[in-house]
Structures are given as structure tokens and as C-alpha cells.
């Protein structure tokens, strides 16, 4: 019997020890395994004027959760209501890639705003440093950085106000859910939602953001969801930033006046531009000659060295570097340089070649209809200056689009005094000629009469 009690005691002690060991092992398995976040993407749109192209411009963003106000279940200060989800500061240090545009980018076939070219790039948020540990909504704030001359940031594409920057802010919510797997405690990311501006309210509970399908950590091309899911009350979903690059045109014209002014003579004009940003300008030469005639077809009034010269159809500018471009225009011709950003300086000079040169062209002598409306137009802006933002009422002549050029005049005076002094000589010459003619006629008549008398006597 004693031996039996010994064996039972050993079994009881062993069982107790196993139980004690098993308890901490079970406790160690409580809690979720941290979940890596997939990357997320949104769109960047750039609007430019219909006659311009995209500039060489880069755009950068910052992302942080530092200013997020958490709304956590059980917290005395921020207890969630029954109708909202728990809201957490987004963990980790995600980063956002810069995106760039250039003049060679392809224009989107579907325009975002009527009357403007639309360019589009995809922006990636790198979430590789982010891990989630609980179900809930994790929030970040995104800010677009400014700094490109002539650029208006975060404009409203629905009702375009292309004159001021928007808030530059976006709110990004990441939805993390329990997989509801009875055998394990696991999490899944089911959606991303981006809102316009800074959102502080908690997301509503109830309708899921997605169909509860997991976005895996291997997926790296997730577009911010805007199609479904319950919105934060009063917030507006978005999947993009829209910027507008404002630019203006410079029209350069030529008019020749005077009775000795050659209307088919080509004049050389040199335009110097200095832009605060690198860009490519388009030049409309449809109201001038793309190429001058060859030497054997060039008119005598034009400098022979201009033979075969061409009027460029684009100008490439580096930021902060002056660039000279030559144009060749006849009377009534003009070119239009498109895509000048605010802050660009310009300086127009010409080779007058013996003509009296006047800056600008008045309506009184103009034969140029640059605005397409009935009547000839003045090109009266200064031949040098700085491109400025258009005033709301355009009260300043050098704001917005610019029109300038040169008027070249040449007159000759007929030497009337020489004609007057020669008049007596001309009269005498006429009298002498008339006398000679009369003498010849009379002699002919006399000879005829004498011949007639001779015949009658015979």
C-alpha cells in the first residue's frame, strides 16, 4: 500500500508541474502576431494651359501620424462611441516617393478639367516599416510640399480655382481587421481610404470598407479606395492631388511703315529668356515663315546672311540660365511663345538695318490681329520685363499674356526742286521737236505742190 501511495504522489506532483509549466506557455501565445503593411498608391495630376506643355517639375510629400488624436476603447479621455471604430496613430515611419513631370510626358486622353491639358503620375507610399498589432483604423496625415514657381498646389478640379493653393493636406486611414480564424489570432489589412484635408473624427462602425478581402503584404500597387465603405461624417474621399501650372504667352510682331519701307524684307529679332524653372516652351509660327527662302530666292532687301534661316518651334530653358533665340519676321508677321512661367524675364532686341526703330506697335499702324477678334491690335507691352501673375481685373498692362514687337519706318523725299529747274529745258525741247515736225510736213507739202504744177504744164 505504501508503495502505491508513493507512485500516486509522484504522478500528482508530475501533473501539477506540467500544469504549472503549461500556464505560462499558454499566456505567451495570447496577442496578435504583428502584421506588415502593404504599400499604397495615389495619383498626382498636373493641369497646364492648352497651348503649353508640362514643365520639368518634381513634387514631394511628407507623411506622419504625430498630430493624430487617438480615439481608443477604454480610455477615459477618448472613449469610442458604439457607432465608431477605434482610431490609432499610424505606427512606423512610412515614406512617400517624389514624382516628376517633364515636357516629353504623354498627355492624358481624358482631360480632368475642360480647356486644360492633363498629366498624371502615380505616387507610392512605402509602408515597409509599418506593423499593425490590433484591429482598428490607423491614421496618417500627408502634406504636399510647395516651392515650384508658377505652380498652384492642391487645386479643386471640380470647380477649378486656379489662383490659390489648397490645404495641401490629406488624411490616410488604414483598416485592419481580425481574420476571425478560430484556430489563431491573425490580422489582415482590408483597405485604405484617403480624405481631403485633415480629418479628426473616428470612422463609423458597421459597413466594411471593403468586402473584407485581405490586401497582402506582397501587394505593392494598391490604389486608395474611393468606391465603397462608410465615410467619416462630413469628410470627402479622394484618391489624388491636383496641381495647376500657370503660364502665359508672349506675342512678338513686326510692322514696317514709310514709302521706302520694304514690306517683304526680313528683320532679325533676338529674344532672351530667363526662367525660374526648367521647361520647354512651344512657339506658334503659323503667322510667320517657318523657313526663309534660299539665297537664290531671297529678296534683295533682306540681308543675304539670313537665307535659309528657320524660326524655331520650341525653346528649351534651364532654370536660372538666360537663353537667346533668333526670329525672322516680315511686315505683318508675328510669333507666339507659349508656356512662360511667372517670374520669367524677357528681353527683345532687333537689327533695324538703317530703319527708324520704335518699340511696340500701335493700333493705328498695326496689321496684326493677334486676338482673333475683328480689327487690328496694338502690341504695346514693353520689349523687356518680367512675366507677372494676371490680376483679377488685369489693370496692369504687363500682367498675364504679353504682346510686343517693333515698328520699323523708312521714308524718302521726292527731289521736287530738280524737276522745277528742268521745266524750261523740257518746254524748249518740246518746241524744237514740234518745229522739226512742222518743217518736215511743210516741205513734203511744197514738194507735192511743185510736182503737181510740173505735170499740168506738160
Interval 35-77: pLDDT, tens:
999 999 999 999 998 888 888 889 999 999 999 999 886 654 4
Q: Please count the other Cβ atoms lying within 10 Å of the Cβ belonging to residue 26.
A: 8
Asked whether 119 and 105 are in contact (CB, 8 A), the reply is yes
CA angle, 320 then 323 then 325, to 5°: 155
Tens of pLDDT, residue by residue over 416-441, are: 655 555 555 555 556 556 666 666 66
Contact status, residue 166 vs residue 159, Cβ threshold 8 Å:
no
CA 247 to chain centre: 7
CA–CA dist 358, 72 (Å, integer): 75
> Does residue 204 surpass a pLDDT of 90?
no
Q: Kindly give, in sequence order, each residue whose CB lies less than 8 Å from that of residue 25, ignoring residues fewer than 6 positions away.
A: none
Q: Is 229 left (phi over 0), alpha (psi -120 to 50) or beta?
A: left
Residue 375 has pLDDT above 90, yes or no: no
Work out the pLDDT band at 26, boundaries 50, 70, 90.
very low
pTM score of the predicted model: 0.73
The domains of the chain, with CATH numbers, are: 36-244 (2.60.40.3050), 248-409 (2.60.40.1140)
The secondary structure of 99-141 as a DSSP string is EEE-TTSPPPSS-SSTTEEEEEEEEEEE-TT-EE-SSEEEEEE
What does the pLDDT look like over 121-141, one tens digit per residue? 999 999 999 999 999 999 999
Nearest by Cα to 209 from 186, 237, 181: 237
CA neighbor of 225 nearest in space, from 234, 244, 212, 243: 212
State the alpha helices, DSSP H only, in 289-422. Answer: 416-421
Element (H, E) at 61: strand 61-64
> H-helix or E-strand containing 180?
none
CA 87 to each of CA 174, 203, 429: distance values in angstroms, whole numbers, following the listed order: 10, 8, 115
Percent of the chain with pLDDT over 70: 75
3-state secondary structure of 454: helix
How confident is the model at residue 114, as a pLDDT?
85
Q: Which residues contact 388 (CB under 8 A, 6 or more apart)?
A: 342, 396, 398, 399, 400
Rounded alpha-carbon distances, angstroms, from residue 373 to 254, 304, 377, 381, 386: 19, 36, 9, 19, 26
Q: Poorest-confidence range of 44-48, 210-214, 349-353, 412-416?
A: 210-214
Q: What is the pLDDT of residue 342?
A: 87
Amino acid at each position: 500500500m505504501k508503495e502505491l501511495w508513493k507512485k500516486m504522489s509522484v504522478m500528482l506532483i508530475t501533473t501539477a508541474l506540467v500544469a504549472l509549466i503549461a500556464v505560462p506557455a499558454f499566456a505567451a501565445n495570447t496577442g496578435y502576431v504583428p502584421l506588415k503593411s502593404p504599400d499604397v498608391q495615389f495619383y498626382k495630376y498636373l493641369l497646364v494651359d492648352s497651348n503649353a506643355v508640362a514643365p520639368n517639375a518634381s513634387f514631394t510629400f511628407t507623411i506622419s501620424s504625430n498630430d493624430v488624436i487617438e480615439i481608443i476603447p477604454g480610455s477615459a479621455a477618448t472613449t469610442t462611441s458604439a457607432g465608431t471604430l477605434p482610431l490609432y496613430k499610424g505606427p512606423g515611419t512610412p515614406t512617400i516617393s517624389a514624382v516628376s513631370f517633364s515636357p516629353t510626358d504623354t498627355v492624358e486622353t481624358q482631360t480632368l478639367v475642360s480647356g486644360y491639358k492633363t498629366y498624371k503620375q502615380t505616387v507610392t507610399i512605402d509602408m515597409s516599416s509599418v506593423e499593425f498589432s490590433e484591429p482598428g483604423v490607423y491614421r496618417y496625415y500627408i502634406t504636399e510640399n510647395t516651392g515650384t514657381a508658377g505652380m498652384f498646389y492642391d487645386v479643386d478640379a471640380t470647380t477649378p480655382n486656379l489662383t490659390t493653393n489648397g490645404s495641401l493636406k490629406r488624411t490616410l486611414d488604414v483598416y485592419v481587421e481580425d481574420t476571425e480564424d478560430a484556430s489563431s489570432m491573425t490580422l489582415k489589412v482590408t483597405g485604405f481610404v484617403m480624405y481631403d484635408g485633415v480629418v479628426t473624427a473616428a470612422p463609423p462602425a458597421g459597413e466594411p470598407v471593403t468586402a473584407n478581402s485581405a490586401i497582402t503584404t506582397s501587394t505593392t500597387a494598391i490604389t486608395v479606395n474611393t468606391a465603397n465603405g462608410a465615410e467619416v461624417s462630413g469628410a470627402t474621399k479622394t484618391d489624388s492631388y491636383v496641381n495647376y501650372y500657370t503660364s502665359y504667352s508672349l506675342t512678338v510682331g513686326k510692322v514696317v511703315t514709310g514709302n521706302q519701307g520694304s514690306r517683304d524684307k526680313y528683320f532679325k529679332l533676338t529674344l532672351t529668356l530667363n526662367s525660374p524653372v526648367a521647361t520647354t516652351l512651344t512657339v506658334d509660327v503659323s503667322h510667320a515663315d517657318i523657313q526663309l527662302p534660299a539665297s537664290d530666292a531671297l529678296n534683295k532687301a533682306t540681308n543675304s546672311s539670313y537665307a535659309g534661316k528657320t524660326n524655331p518651334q520650341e525653346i528649351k530653358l534651364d532654370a536660372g540660365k538666360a537663353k537667346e533665340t533668333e526670329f525672322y519676321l516680315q511686315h505683318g508677321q508675328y510669333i507666339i511663345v507659349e508656356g512662360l512661367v511667372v517670374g520669367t524675364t524677357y528681353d527683345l532686341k532687333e537689327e533695324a538695318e538703317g530703319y527708324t526703330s520704335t518699340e511696340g506697335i500701335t493700333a493705328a499702324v498695326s496689321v496684326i490681329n493677334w486676338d482673333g477678334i475683328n480689327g487690328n491690335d496694338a502690341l504695346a507691352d514693353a520689349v523687356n520685363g518680367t512675366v507677372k501673375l494676371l490680376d483679377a481685373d488685369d489693370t496692369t498692362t504687363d500682367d498675364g499674356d504679353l504682346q510686343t514687337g517693333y515698328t520699323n519706318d523708312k521714308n524718302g523725299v521726292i527731289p521736287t526742286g530738280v524737276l522745277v529747274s528742268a521745266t524750261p529745258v523740257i518746254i524748249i525741247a518740246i518746241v524744237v521737236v514740234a518745229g522739226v515736225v512742222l518743217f518736215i510736213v511743210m516741205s513734203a507739202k511744197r514738194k507735192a505742190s511743185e510736182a503737181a504744177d510740173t505735170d499740168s504744164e506738160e
